[in-house]
Amino acid sequence: MDLKLLDILACPLTKSPLILSDDKTELISKAAGLAFPIRDGIPVMLESEARIITTDERLDK
């Protein structure tokens, strides 16, 4: 995924910033508690495709 795109993307639910996961396969919205997948370099910004992040992920552990 192009990191420049990360600068302009926001969570579709909360409009908060997104964080690229360590393995670069998801965009994480801590405000919404969701992780949006990145497939073939394209972020899938649909709530129905997102997974709920764990408490540890939310707290940066």
Q: What is the tens place of the pLDDT at every residue in 23-61?
A: 999 999 999 999 999 999 999 999 999 999 999 888 875
* Confidence check: pLDDT of 6 > 60: yes
Report the C-alpha gap between 16 and 34 in whole angstroms.
12
Please give the model's pTM, rounded to 2 decimal places. Answer: 0.89
Instruction: Looking at the chain, list the stretches that DSSP marks H as alpha helix, in order from N- to C-terminal side.
Output: 3-8, 55-58
| Beta strand segments in the chain, E | 19-20, 26-29, 34-39, 42-43, 51-52
Say if residues 8 and 24 touch (Cβ distance below 8 Å): no
| Domain residue spans of the chain | 17-56
The CATH-assigned architecture of domain 17-56 is Single Sheet (2.20)
For the beta carbon of residue 50, count every other beta carbon within 10 angstroms: 22
